[in-house]
């Protein structure tokens, strides 16, 4: 197996000034990038992936922070396209950690011989559509240039890290980093006074883990979250055998569920059963691992309304029960947003961290951070002395990673300008005026690999169709795009994910337009819509 530490940018090395020619270029070698490479090669295309990192894995390459792990079941997260791969790979834990996840993606890259088609340490800075020859001209930071008919942006949904524009960051005398760029050699936190800003899914995992080794931990929390026990554990041999024998059923369940998880809602409304029966179900599911607590619960627990608030009360009580100091407990209890309207973190001892004498919770909504000082963090109330600062402050989701690349389509317009008011696409995949560009990272929803695999297959099939029918261009029609944007805005407004200020709607980034960044549809509905579009000769697309 290749060592991710030792990747070089040698793949595709070409003499200075030469523009490498491919049928397709994939930006990113994470989960979707690797699979795109695999599928397009299967079709017989020449493909090159350009990857900013020194190894494969994307999210699982960059997020090396302590505690980083899946919170969907490991065996629902692997690729399903190869039975051999499924049978060969042993997931060691029910919710596997970052090192194993990175190993898995390296294993996939080696097994399918994908590595030789990837140029590592290769940051794409611009991609310009050449209207004369219908090809994308791709420019890298190191001066390397390449050209291809098709361009696929497998750049991730949550990959452009966000650090708030605090004054004085560079004046801080100790080390600091964003969780999404955790140093490969790790950070020495043992015995240090550490400050963590942010309590989203990342902060919750990180805080729980580092609280075991730091001398003092200060957690800067702006919004309390609803978190629930992950209940991870090792997968023993017997369970491993069962999992391997059950993959068809596991994937069938995932395919049938709204978010591609292996959980099925109870078709009953929480409000149609007695309070006793309701509580019995809440308690029973609470003892279960992972997302089952809400995704196998009464269906309306995950919809705005009475059932949602009833379940929120139950979870708030669970939080209170675990924190010794009632004042700290109240700080940790979310009261300003609906249960499930933000991504729900799973945890493994998070609340107990706040019972430790060396942990301090600071409410930065009540006393906002004013600046970073040479010695630590200054809020409107006090200055906190720190040796290390960690920003678990999230991501400029979906469009952030696209905007870092200057993508110029027809007439010289940039995707960034076009997306200034929110993504303007058809089904997240294609944008009018940007022919042969597949914004695959803007189209995925739910349990990531389960959602990404069919999407990659759809895009590959679409490319095959274009080539076989000797078209040179494909892009969304302006009409299909307008209708899709209207659907996202109108139907998106009704779902739980748009009810709070989070990355789902771009509300975590100051100045970013507040729109749903993903599809409002469930995964089965999205797959059906895409299938229908393809069956109708790529309806809604302009083929030239
Ligand atoms: P996030 O959910 O956006 O959380 C960012 C945190 O930083 C929030 O607590 C936010 O507070 C805080 N923050 C941002 N700006 C701040 C400021 N100026 N002052 C104080 N606090 C500030 O980001 P994340 O935790 O990295 O998670 C992002 C997504 O990644 C998750 O929702 C999930 O989809 C994914 N993820 C998945 C896993 C997994 O699968 N196991 C693990 C980690 C992450 P507010 O809430 O007040 O904005």
Integer Cα distance of 60 and 55 in angstroms: 10
Task: Say how far apart CA 431 and CA 473 lie, in whole Å.
Answer: 12
Q: Summarize the confidence of residues 339-348 as an average pLDDT.
A: 96
Distance CA 488, CA 369 (A): 35
> Is 399 touching ligand 1 by the criterion CB < 6 Å?
no
Q: Decide whether any atom of ligand 1 lies within 6 Å of the 529 Cβ.
A: no
Whether residue 314 is predicted with pLDDT greater than 50 in this model: the reply is: yes
H/E stretch holding 27 reads strand 19-27
Give 367 Cα–ligand 1 centroid separation in angstroms.
Answer: 19
Band of pLDDT at residue 443, cut at 50, 70 and 90:
confident
State the pLDDT confidence band at 12, using cuts at 50, 70 and 90: very low
The reply to whether ligand 1 has any atom less than 6 angstroms from the CB of 203 is yes
Residue 104 three-state SS: helix
- Among protein residues, the one whose CA lies closest to atom 23 of ligand 1: 394
- Report residue 446's pLDDT band, with 50, 70 and 90 as the boundaries: confident
Cβ of 222 below 6 Å from ligand 1: yes
CB of 202 closer than 6 A to ligand 1?
yes
Whole-number Å distance, alpha carbon 308 to ligand 1 midpoint, is: 22
Taking the centre of ligand 1 as the mean of its atom positions, its distance from the CA of residue 250, in whole angstroms, is 29
Answer for the pair 161, 181: CB distance below 8 angstroms, yes or no: yes
| Residue 514 CA, ligand 1 centroid: distance in Å | 17
Q: Is the CB of 199 under 6 A from ligand 1?
A: yes
> Do the Cβ atoms of 126 and 146 come closer than 8 Å?
no
CA distance 389 to 377: 9
DSSP 62: H
- At residue 15, the pLDDT reads 57
Report how far residue 121's alpha carbon sits from residue 369's, in angstroms, rounded to the nearest whole number. 35
b/e sequence 152-170, b meaning 16+ C-beta within 10 Å? bbbbbbbbbbbebebeeee
What's the confidence (pLDDT) of residue 16? 60
pLDDT tens profile 62-92 = 999 999 999 999 999 999 999 999 999 999 9
Residue 3 has pLDDT above 50, yes or no: no
Predicted local confidence at residue 2, as pLDDT:
32
**Whether pLDDT at 59 is above 80:** yes
Instruction: Count Cβ neighbours within 10 Å for each residue of 302-320 and write b for 16 or more, e otherwise.
Output: bbbeebbebbbebbbebbe
How many Cβ atoms sit within 10 Å of the Cβ of residue 335?
Answer: 9
Domain limits of the chain? 19-56+114-160+397-543
Ligand 1 mean position, distance from CA 329 (Å)? 20
| Cβ-Cβ contacts under 8 Å for 249 (sequence gap 6 or more) | none
Q: Average of pLDDT values for 124-148?
A: 97
Contact 93, 233 (CB under 8 A): yes
Other C-beta atoms within 10 Å of 234: how many?
Answer: 10
**Nearest to residue 119, comparing CAs of 17, 22, 45, 40?**
22
Phi, psi at residue 459, to the nearest 5°? -65, -45
In this structure, the number of other CB atoms found within 10 A of the CB of residue 272 comes to 11
Model confidence at 237, pLDDT cuts 50, 70, 90, reads very high
Place of tokens 């919710």: 95
Confirm if 163 and 169 have CB atoms less than 8 A apart: yes
Alpha-carbon distance 212 to 66, whole Å? 11
Q: Name the residue at shortest CA distance from atom 17 of ligand 1.
A: 164
How does pLDDT run across 388-438, given as a tens digit for each residue? Answer: 999 999 999 999 999 999 999 999 999 999 999 999 999 999 999 999 999
Take atom 6 of ligand 1 and give the residue whose Cα is closest: 198
Asked if residue 45 has its Cβ within 6 Å of ligand 1, the reply is no
Residue 158 near ligand 1, beta carbon < 6 Å: yes
* Domain spanning 19-56+114-160+397-543, CATH class: alpha beta
pLDDT score recorded for residue 329: 98
Task: Please work out whether the CB of residue 362 comes within 6 Å of at least one atom of ligand 1.
Answer: no
- Is pLDDT of 11 > 70? no
Q: Are 73 and 93 in contact (CB under 8 A)?
A: no
pLDDT of 14: 55
Residue 8 pLDDT exceeds 90? no
């Amino acid at each position: 197996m290749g060592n991710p530490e030792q990747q070089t940018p040698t793949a595709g090395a070409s003499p200075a000034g030469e523009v490498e020619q491919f049928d397709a270029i994939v930006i990113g070698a994470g989960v979707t990038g690797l699979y795109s490479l695999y599928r397009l090669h299967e079709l017989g295309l020449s493909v090159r992936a350009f990857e900013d990192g020194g190894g494969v894995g994307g999210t699982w390459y960059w997020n090396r922070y302590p505690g980083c792990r899946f919170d969907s079941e490991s065996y629902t997260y692997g690729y399903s396209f190869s039975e051999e791969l499924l049978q060969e790979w042993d997931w060691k834990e029910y919710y596997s950690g970052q090192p194993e996840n990175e190993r898995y993606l390296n294993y996939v890259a080696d097994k399918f011989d994908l590595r030789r088609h990837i140029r590592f340490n290769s940051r794409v800075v611009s991609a310009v559509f050449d209207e004369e020859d219908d090809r994308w001209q791709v420019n890298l930071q190191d001066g390397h240039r390449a050209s291809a008919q098709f361009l696929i942006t497998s750049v991730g949904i949550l990959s452009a890290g966000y650090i708030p524009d605090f004054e004085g960051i560079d004046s801080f005398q100790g080390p600091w980093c964003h969780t999404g760029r955790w140093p490969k050699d790790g950070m020495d936190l043992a015995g240090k006074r550490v400050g963590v800003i942010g309590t989203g899914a990342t902060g919750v995992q990180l805080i729980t883990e580092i609280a075991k080794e730091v001398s003092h931990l200060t957690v800067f929390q702006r919004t309390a979250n609803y978190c629930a026990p992950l209940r991870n554990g090792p997968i023993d041999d017997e369970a491993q055998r069962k999992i391997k024998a059950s993959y068809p059923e596991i994937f069938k369940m995932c395919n049938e569920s709204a978010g591609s998880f292996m959980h099925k809602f109870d078709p009953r409304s929480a409000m149609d059963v007695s309070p006793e029966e309701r509580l019995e179900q809440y308690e029973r599911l609470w003892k279960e691992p992972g997302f089952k607590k809400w995704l196998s619960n009464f269906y309306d627990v995950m919809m705005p309304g009475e059932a949602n608030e009833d379940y929120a009360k139950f979870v708030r009580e669970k939080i209170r029960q675990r924190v010794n100091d009632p004042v700290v407990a109240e700080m940790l209890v979310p009261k300003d947003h609906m249960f499930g309207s933000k991504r729900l973190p799973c945890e493994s001892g998070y609340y107990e961290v706040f019972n430790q004498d060396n942990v301090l919770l600071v409410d930065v909504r009540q006393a906002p951070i004013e600046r970073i000082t040479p010695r630590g963090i200054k809020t409107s109330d006090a200055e906190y002395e720190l040796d290390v600062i960690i920003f678990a402050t999230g991501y400029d989701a979906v469009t952030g990673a696209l905007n870092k690349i200057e993508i110029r389509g027809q007439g010289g317009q940039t995707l960034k300008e076009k997306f200034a008011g929110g993504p303007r696409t058809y089904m997240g995949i294609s944008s009018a005026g940007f022919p042969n560009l597949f914004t695959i990272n803007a189209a995925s929803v739910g349990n990531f690999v389960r959602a990404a695999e069919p999407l990659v297959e759809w895009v590959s099939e679409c490319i095959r169709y274009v080539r076989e029918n000797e078209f040179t261009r494909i892009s969304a029609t302006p009409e299909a795009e307008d209708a899709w944007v209207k659907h996202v805005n109108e139907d998106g407004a009704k779902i739980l994910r748009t009810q709070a200020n989070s990355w789902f709607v771009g509300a975590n980034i100051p100045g970013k337009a507040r729109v749903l960044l993903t599809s409002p549809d469930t995964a089965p509905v999205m797959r059906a819509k895409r299938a229908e579009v393809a069956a109708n000769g790529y309806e809604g697309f302009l083929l030239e």
